[in-house]
Amino acid sequence: MADHESYRLPRTARPRHYELELRPDLAAARFDGRAVVTLDVAEPTRTLVLNAADLEVAAARLEGPEAAPVEPAIRLAAEEQQLVLDFGTELTAADGYRLTIDFAGTLNDQ
């Protein structure tokens, strides 16, 4: 049995606003979409961790309040149902980051 603490998200970043676009393909029982999350980074970090159950992530991009957009390395932690984005360098603590994630998945009754 997994430690439930490992499923908790780090508190290094806090979402402030979500924009979600879903495009279902009922005939294929699939969907794709895009999420744009405005977030505040509370303390320096090189990774962001989000909940992501049964998703395929095609791309991610982070726009900082004063920095050029960055495309992180993407890792899905299936057991924890989490998406880990590694930016390779430390993000500074600041408000108003915009994270864009393109994803796809299977429509099911879960």
pTM of the model: 0.86
pLDDT of residue 2: 47
For 13-22, the pLDDT digits (tens) are 999 999 999 9
| Overall average pLDDT of the 101-108 stretch | 92
| Strand segments (E) across the chain | 13-25, 30-41, 45-51, 55-63, 73-77, 82-91, 94-106
Distant-in-sequence, close-in-space partners of 90: CB < 8 Å, separation ≥ 6: 44, 45, 46
- Find the Cα–Cα–Cα–Cα dihedral 22, 71, 93, 84, rounded to 10°: 70
pLDDT of residue 9: 62
Confidence of residue 4 (pLDDT cuts 50, 70, 90): very low
